[in-house]
Homo-oligomer: A and B are copies of this chain.
Amino acid sequence: MADKLTPRGEDFSKWYNEIVQRAELADYSPVRGSMVIRPYGYSLWEAVHDGLDRRFKATGHQNAYFPLFIPMSFLQKEKEHVEGFSPELAVVTIAGGEQLEEPLVVRPTSETIIGYMYAQWIKSYRDLPVLINCWNNVVRWELRTRLFLRTAEFLWQEGHTAHATQQEAEEETQRMLGVYADFARNDAAIPVIPGRKSESEKFAGAVRSYTIEAMMGDKKALQSGTSHFLGQNFAKAFEIKYLDKNNELQYVWTTSWGLSTRMIGGIIMVHGDDQGLRLPPKMAPIQVVIVPIFKTDAERARVMPVVEQMRELLAGSVRVKVDDREETPGFKFNDWEMRGVPVRMEVGPKDVDKGSVVLARRDIPGREGKAFVPQAGIADAVRELLAKIQSNMLKQATEFRDANTREPRTCDEFKAAVDDGFARAWWCGDKQCEAEIKEDTKATTRCIPLEQPGGSGKCILCGKPASEIAIFAKAY
């Protein structure tokens, strides 16, 4: 643990891998492309789960569970869907010692099997809307994998809703994009840009896909959650129909939306620094770590009762841990910085004398982030500090993103911009034009932001009239 992390500026990718291993977030598994999520990393996933699940339920959704295995024939019912997913499928051909008549696909996503079930359950307009979410695992056989960011198996949630009208389904698609953006900003302290995906980047089977895009510490983009308006594509493929108020059969309108363990990769890459992970307080499994400081047994006897008292005062409202390992304070400081704990409390003999403790902020390094705080009223002081850290981390990430987002006016400026950040530019929306940009610069259209300046301009590449601004960047 004495070894320093590879600095981000030297090799961002190496820095990322080291942090994931050293903070014990995840590990490689013996199965190619599959990851093991270790307890500290899984606690982050539990925080994502809790933050989203609360928001899903507040917007009227219920959880359910659908089977892992999907008959191959189901995937083939929606043409674009099967084309999009078939190269990535894992297929069960043997079960119970026998060759299966029809191979079973391990779900890469569940639109098809859920569509099949909705067709059984939905009879009349009274049954609508159906607002269901699932927490589960999916498999997409990827060639190049990266812990959290791209793995053959990952954990996620997939929401699947059915509505009587197009308008309701479109509103739902936007509502859930809003839920993701709210979670990302307010819990994960990640300033995301909500927007529409281009035609070529949308989900296989969707009419329109929406995304939240975030800038990582290396200035590349990460698609962090998506919400899809599926129109009647799956309703028609699976015959999901209802009797409307006039007793006429109508196809439903459906949506789907998902956010995965990839979000944890985003949290690492947005907030981490050369000392390690930095966790926003709302996501941190441990919000405050207390490090006792003493040299002699006599000092120990004076320090530890105060440490225990502080722990008790905090335990009701804060996730607190005492580090009583037999290691040096220096080792412990480094270790908890690596793990991104937002606040370190130091209690030494002098603090005991003065009736105070030291609080050190993870978001502000060195002396500037340290303060002596009275022991009396410590719980309120810590809660306030955590709230400050939470908002400061969002501010830091927002400033970093904005400082690295440019509005190029020429092709050369555009190339320079996407080489080192985000470019915001007028875009004609043409597929061919998009492909050329990708070919030239390795940058892709990340999204067409929901917030548009209005008016019109000329496409940054081809110069044709453009009515929308797009965000371009290299991406994970």
Residues of A at under 8 Å CB distance from B? Answer: 27, 29-31, 34-39, 41-43, 45-46, 62-71, 74, 86-97, 103-104, 106, 113, 116-117, 120-121, 132, 136-137, 139, 141, 143, 152-153, 155
Task: Evaluate contact between B90 and A94: CB separation under 8 angstroms.
Answer: yes
Q: Chain B's nearest CB lies how many Å from the CB of A332? A: 15
Q: Chain B's nearest CB lies how many Å from the CB of A406? A: 38
**Using Cβ atoms and an 8 Å threshold, which residues of chain B touch A36?**
64-67, 117
Q: List 21 A-B contacts (CB under 8 A).
A: A27-B121, A29-B113, A34-B69, A36-B66, A39-B132, A68-B106, A68-B137, A68-B139, A68-B153, A69-B153, A86-B97, A89-B96, A90-B96, A91-B93, A91-B94, A92-B106, A93-B94, A94-B103, A96-B143, A136-B137, A137-B137
- In the complex, the 3 A-B pairs of residues with the closest C-beta atoms, listed nearest first: A96-B141, A34-B67, A39-B62
Task: Evaluate contact between A65 and B42: CB separation under 8 angstroms.
Answer: yes
Nearest-CB residue, chain B, relative to A151? B67
Nearest-CB residue, chain B, relative to A140? B96
Task: Evaluate contact between B29 and A66: CB separation under 8 angstroms.
Answer: yes
- How many copies are assembled? 2
Interface of A, helix, strand, loop or mixed by DSSP: mixed
With A91-B93, A96-B143 known as contacts, the answer to whether A67 contacts B120 (CB < 8 A) is: no
Task: Evaluate contact between A63 and B92: CB separation under 8 angstroms.
Answer: no
Task: Evaluate contact between A38 and B64: CB separation under 8 angstroms.
Answer: yes
**A153 CA to B104 CA in the complex, in Å?**
13
A92, A103, A121, A132 interface centre (most CB from chain B within 10 Å): A92
**Using Cβ atoms and an 8 Å threshold, which residues of chain B touch A74?**
30
**A91 CA to B66 CA in the complex, in Å?**
20
**A43 CA to B89 CA in the complex, in Å?**
31
Residue in B27, B46, B67, B152 whose beta carbon sits within 8 Å of that of A153 in the complex: B67
Task: Evaluate contact between B31 and A104: CB separation under 8 angstroms.
Answer: yes
Task: Evaluate contact between A27 and B62: CB separation under 8 angstroms.
Answer: no
With A96-B89, A117-B36 known as contacts, the answer to whether A31 contacts B67 (CB < 8 A) is: yes
Nearest-CB residue, chain B, relative to A62? B39
With A31-B69, A35-B67 known as contacts, the answer to whether A90 contacts B90 (CB < 8 A) is: no
**Using Cβ atoms and an 8 Å threshold, which residues of chain B touch A97?**
86-87, 89
Task: Evaluate contact between A67 and B113: CB separation under 8 angstroms.
Answer: no
**A121 CA to B24 CA in the complex, in Å?**
10
**Using Cβ atoms and an 8 Å threshold, which residues of chain B touch A67?**
29, 31, 34-36, 153
**A120 CA to B29 CA in the complex, in Å?**
11
A29, A38, A65, A121 interface centre (most CB from chain B within 10 Å): A65
Residue in B42, B116, B132 whose beta carbon sits within 8 Å of that of A64 in the complex: B42
Task: Evaluate contact between B37 and A65: CB separation under 8 angstroms.
Answer: yes
Q: Chain B's nearest CB lies how many Å from the CB of A281? A: 20
**A92 CA to B136 CA in the complex, in Å?**
19
Q: Chain B's nearest CB lies how many Å from the CB of A14? A: 20
Nearest-CB residue, chain B, relative to A35? B67
Task: Evaluate contact between B88 and A96: CB separation under 8 angstroms.
Answer: yes
Nearest-CB residue, chain B, relative to A114? B36
Task: Evaluate contact between B104 and A30: CB separation under 8 angstroms.
Answer: no
Task: Evaluate contact between A155 and B65: CB separation under 8 angstroms.
Answer: yes
Nearest-CB residue, chain B, relative to A93? B93
**Using Cβ atoms and an 8 Å threshold, which residues of chain B touch A70?**
31
**A302 CA to B38 CA in the complex, in Å?**
57
A31, A71, A86, A137 interface centre (most CB from chain B within 10 Å): A31
**Using Cβ atoms and an 8 Å threshold, which residues of chain B touch A29?**
66-67, 113, 117
**A69 CA to B139 CA in the complex, in Å?**
10
Task: Evaluate contact between A27 and B71: CB separation under 8 angstroms.
Answer: no
**A132 CA to B39 CA in the complex, in Å?**
8
Nearest-CB residue, chain B, relative to A120? B27
Apart from A31-B104, A42-B62, what 15 extra A-B contacts exist at CB < 8 Å?
A: A31-B113, A36-B66, A37-B64, A42-B63, A43-B62, A43-B63, A69-B90, A69-B152, A69-B153, A87-B97, A90-B92, A90-B96, A91-B94, A92-B92, A95-B141
**A42 CA to B66 CA in the complex, in Å?**
10
**Using Cβ atoms and an 8 Å threshold, which residues of chain B touch A95?**
89-91, 141, 152
Q: Chain B's nearest CB lies how many Å from the CB of A349? A: 27
**A29 CA to B70 CA in the complex, in Å?**
10
**A69 CA to B138 CA in the complex, in Å?**
11
Q: Chain B's nearest CB lies how many Å from the CB of A53? A: 9
